[in-house]
Structure formats: C-alpha cells, structure tokens
Structure 1
C-alpha cells in the first residue's frame, strides 16, 4: 500500500456558523431543545436570525471543524463538502484553504444558497443549533474523488450526512472507496437526535464493519442502544467496534481498542465559554495522534487538549496554534 498523502479526508456539511448568546427563556419561547440540532428551512433560518442577538460568523460544519483542527496541529488534511457559488460559499472555501487544507469540491452554480447554522449559546456554554443545509445537502457521489479518498490514511464521516439523500449516497460511495483502498473509515455520530432518526442504519454500519472507528458522546451512545445506563451503552459499542471513543465532557473520555478500555481525563479549562466544536476538536487531536502511531492514552490526551482550547472561547475553530499548544504540553510533534 502506498504512503498516503493526507492524514485525514473529512466528508461533511460545508456550513457557515452564526453564533450568538441567548438565555434559557429565548430557547423556550422558540420551542428549542437545549443542546440539540434542528434542521430548518431557509425561511425559518431567516426568521430566527432576525430575532437572535448579535452574531459572530465563522466557517463551520462538524467534519470541517475537525479537519481545521488537524491542519492547526500540522497535519495534512483534505475536505469534501458542497457550498454554493455565493458570498458565504466563498468565505467557507477561503477559510479552509487558508489553513492549508485540500478542498476542491465544485460549488453549486444554481439553486440553494450556502448552508448556515444558527448557534445559540446559553450561559452554561451549551449550544443549540438550527441548521439550514442549503447547498450542503447537494453533495453527491459525483463529488467524491476516489483518488483523494485512496490518498488519505483515514476517511472521517459525520453522521449529519445521513439526513439528505444525496449526501448519504456520497457517504456510502466514499466509504466503499476507502475500504477498497485499504484505508480506515471513521464515523462521528454527530448528535443524539440524529442517532434517533437513523439508529438502525448506524447500527447496520457498525455491524457490517463499514466503519473502523466510532466517536460518540454519552448522549449519542445512550440513544444508539436505547438505554439510560451509560456503562451498558458504552460496553455495547466497545464490544462491537475495533475502536471506539466515547467522550463524557468534564469526566473525560473512554477509549475502547482491541477489546481493552482506557479512561483519559479531560484537560483543565479555566472557564467553559462555548461548547460548540468540543467533540469536533477532540476528534482532531485524536486522529492526528492516531495517524502518527501514538498510544490510545496519548491520542486521548491530545484530543482532550484540543477540546479544552476550543471550549475556552466562542466559536468552533481553534484560535490558538494547536501545534504550539501540543508542544507546550509535552507532545513531540
């Protein structure tokens, strides 16, 4: 097998985030479940945007955030996702390429606008997302460059891709190409409500061996196995997967690998400002370390360090140079 050009190829919804603070009453008045992700129409997005407080715009999308983190660590990364040929699409493309990420998905030249996610952050740092997928849902199998898939050590897929049919088929096509090239397929479950919608299909991906590594948080893994008992749910996933990572917020994370489990503590944070992107950046640190052959505990420690950086400020992309941060914390990268 040839040496891959990229550590990770991410496949996900290309989204521009609009992040604003709000109180619990605002969520209640709009019938929004705190911590969830809702799909909304363009009209609904515009109405909610008009009622939100001042917002900060930044390129986002779950898998794209992970890829941005890997690039900040000094890794080689690529991303595939669909934007429109419009102003926000140009912002997204510029931002990800400026990080040194390979991004050559052709933009949509007519129809839907570039997707955006309205992120409401409550005082406890929890984020509630309202997503208009727009052009992102037009990602299709024809957008998958199998030569790039084969040139990446790992293919990283976000569960949110399972919502639009076109993107789901792109997900399947990319996973097949990665398997044929002997590359690892990684899935992040994305959101507990996403798991509720597609539980059986996600379980089939796991049982059929389509994915080699799964990332989930405690809410997602409970939803996957329909149990309130976290330990039971974790052991189910760990027993079915060759490798699984379950993040548990301030309680750290549990890594299951080849039948054994290791628990890795969370990295200290002076103040939790915004939880947006915590899981995405954890995955960035973990996958970067994994690509370099680090041990499971070290993969978890670097993941925790990256997550701690992103929750210490508003926004889902790192503000510090993660490579420097990793070196300051003893990682020889």
Structure 2
C-alpha cells in the first residue's frame, strides 16, 4: 500500500447554511418536523427564507463540516462536493480551502444554484433543516478521482448522499476504489428521516461490507432497526458492521468493535446554543484519533470535545481552535 496523502477524504452534499433562531410555533406554522431534515425545492426555499427572521449564513454540509473539523485538529484532509460557479459557490469554495482542506471538485457552469439549507434553531438548541440540494445533487461518478480516493486512509461518506441518484453512484464508486487500494470506508447515517427513506439500502451497505465504519446517534440507531430498545439495536449493529460509534448526547458515546464495547462520557457543556453539526464534529474528533492510532476511549474523548465546542455557538463549524482545546484537555495532537 502506498503512503496516504490524506488522513481522511470526505464526500458529501456541498451545502451553504442559512441559520435563524425561532420557536416551535414557527415550525408548526410551516409544517416542519422538529429535529429532522426535509428536502425542499427552490420555490419552498424561497418561501421559507421570506418567512424567516434575521439569519446567520455560512458554509456547511455534513461531511464538509467533519472534514473542516479534522483539518482544524491538524489532519491532512480533502473534500469532494458539487457547487455551482455562482456567488455562494465561490464563497463555499473559498471557505473550505481557507480551512486548509484540499478541494478540487470542478464547479458546475450551469444548472441549479449552489445548494442551501435553511436551519431553524429553537430555544432548546434543536435544529430543524430544510435543504435545497441545488448543484449538490449533480455530483456524479465523473467527479470521483481514483488517485485522490486511493490516497486517503479513510474515505468518509454521508448518508444524505443517498438522496441524489448520481451522487449515490459516486458514493459506491468511491467505496470500491478505496477498498481496491486497501483503504477504509466510513459512513455517517446522517438523520433518522434519511434512514426511514433508505433503511434497507443502508443495511445492505453494512452487511456487504461496502462500509467498514458507521457513525450514528441513538435516534438513528433506533430508526435503523425500527425498535425502541437501545441495547437490542446495539447488539444488531455489532453483527451488521465491523466497527461502529453511537452518540447519545449528554450520555456520551458507545464504540462497538467485534466483542469489544467502550463507553465514553460526554464533555461538559455550559449551555447548548445550537446542535447543528454536533454529529459532524464528533465524527471529526473521533476520526482524528483513529488515524493517529489512539485507543477507542481517546477517540471518543476527541469526538466529545469537538462536539461540545460546536454546540455552544451558532453554526456547524468550530469557532475555537480544536487543536488548542485538545491540548488543554491533555489529548495527543
């Protein structure tokens, strides 16, 4: 196996986030399911934006947030995602490159605008997402560079990629290339509603070992196995995939690998402001520990620390150096 150029390469829907503080009454009036992610068209996006209050706008996208977190910790990272050559797309490209992430996906010259997610944050910190995929849905297998995938120790894929048909094909192509090069493939299940749409397909990916590492939260685990028992779901997950990490909010996380189980507590949080990106940044921290050869317990501590940082402010990307935070908490960076 050749030496890896990248620790982790992420592939995902390149989405620009538009975040606003609101309340449950607004969600109800708009017919939104609290805590979920709904795909919307351009007309619905325009209507939601018109009804929203003052917003905070920044680059986002699940896998992109994870990759930016990894780069902030000091990992070598790359990202594959589709934006249009428009104002928002150019901002998106600038932001991810400014975060020291390799981003070489060609921009779209025509077609739909760069994707946007309209994220409503309620006083309890819960986020409800309404996503217009836009140009992101036009990521195709042609955007997957075999040399780049082969050069990454881990290729990290988001479950949201399973929505656009061509992106789904790109996902499978990337996984095949990674395994052909002797590399690992990680998948985040993304969202309980996403699992509801593709449960059987996700289980097939796991059971056929198309993916080696799975990230999920407790709600996603229960959705995956259509049950209300965490321990039973965890036992089934252990049978279906070689390595998995399940986050449980303030209860921390559980890592399962073969017969081994490791529970890691959550980091202390002064105040939850916005849970957008919590899972994304947890994955960033955990993967950083993994590619550095850390124990599962240390990987979990990295993940918990990164997640705690991001939920204490608006937006899904770090505002404090994760590397500095890790050092302050005695973690090896």
Shorter chain as normaliser: what TM range?
over 0.9
Check conservation: 1:273, 1:314, Cα contact below 8 A: yes
Distance, in Å, in 1 between the alignment partners of 2:331 and 2:301 is 10
User: How far did 1:308 drift?
Assistant: 0.2
Supply the distance in 2 between the matched residues of 1:48 and 1:263 (Cα, whole angstroms).
40
Q: Give, in whole Å, the separation in 2 of the partners of 1:268 and 1:68.
A: 23
Could you tell me how far apart the structure 2 residues matched to 1:24 and 1:127 are? 11
Counting only pairs closer than 5 Å after superposition, residues 44-123 of structure 1 correspond to structure 2 as 44-123=44-123
Per-residue CA deviation, residues 53-107 of structure 1 (Å, 9 max, x unaligned), is: 1100000000000000001001100000000000000011000000110000000
Q: 1:291 matched to which residue of 2?
A: 291
Distance across 2 between alignment mates of 1:284 and 1:239 = 25
* Cα distance in 2, alignment partners of residues 250 and 12 from structure 1: 27
For 2:264, the equivalent position in structure 1 comes to: 264
- Number of aligned residue pairs: 333
Secondary structure of the residue aligned to 2:103 is: coil
For the residues of structure 2 that align with 1:229 and 1:60, how far apart are their CA atoms? 32
Which residue of structure 1 aligns with residue 321 of structure 2? 321
Do the aligned partners of 1:239 and 1:259 also contact (CA within 8 Å) in 2? no
Distance 2:307 2:241 in 1: 23
Q: Where does 1:93-172 land on structure 2 (aligned, <5 Å)?
A: 93-172=93-172
Output one character per residue of 1:265-310: Cα deviation in whole Å (capped at 9) or x when no partner: 0000000000000000000000011000000000000000000000
Alignment of 1:267-278 (within 5 A): 267-278=267-278
What is the deviation of 1:327?
0.5
Residue 200 of structure 1: CA displacement?
0.4
Mapped to 1, the partners of 2:282 and 2:297 lie a distance apart of: 13
Say whether residues 1:219 and 2:207 are aligned partners.
no
Does the 8 Å contact 1:10/1:67 carry over to 2? yes
Q: Note the C-alpha offset of 1:234.
A: 1.5
**How many angstroms does 1:230 deviate by?**
1.4
Q: Would you say 1:182 and 2:182 are equivalent positions?
A: yes
RMSD: 0.6
> Does the CA contact (< 8 Å) of 2:203 and 2:240 recur in 1?
no
For 1:70 and 1:98, how far apart are their aligned partners in 2?
14
| Match in the other structure for 2:235 | 235
| C-alpha distance in structure 1 between counterparts of 2:217 and 2:238, whole Å | 13
Gaps of 5+ in 2: none
Alignment partners' CA distance in 2, 1:301 and 1:23: 32
Q: 1:133 is paired with a residue of what secondary structure?
A: strand
Q: Is the 8 A contact 1:242 1:259 kept in 2?
A: no
CA distance in 2, matches of 1:123, 1:238: 36
Please state how far the C-alpha of 1:3 moved relative to its aligned partner: 1.4
The 1-side partners of 2:179 and 2:53 are apart by 45
4+ residue runs over 3 A deviation: none
SS in 1 for 2:190: coil
Distance in 2 (alpha carbons) for counterparts of 1:259 and 1:188: 21
Query: Equivalents in 1 of 2:118, 2:137: separation in Å?
Result: 17
State the Cα deviation string for residues 138-181 of structure 1 (Å, max 9, x = none): 00000000100000000000000000101001101101100101
Separation in 2 of the partners of 1:162 and 1:59? Answer: 21
Length-normalised TM-score, structure 2: 0.99
5+ residue gaps, structure 1: none
TM-score in terms of structure 1 length: 0.99
- Which residue does the alignment assign to 1:310? 310
Offset at 1:258? 2.6
Does the residue aligned with 2:102 lie in a helix, a strand or coil? coil
SS across alignment from 1:276? coil
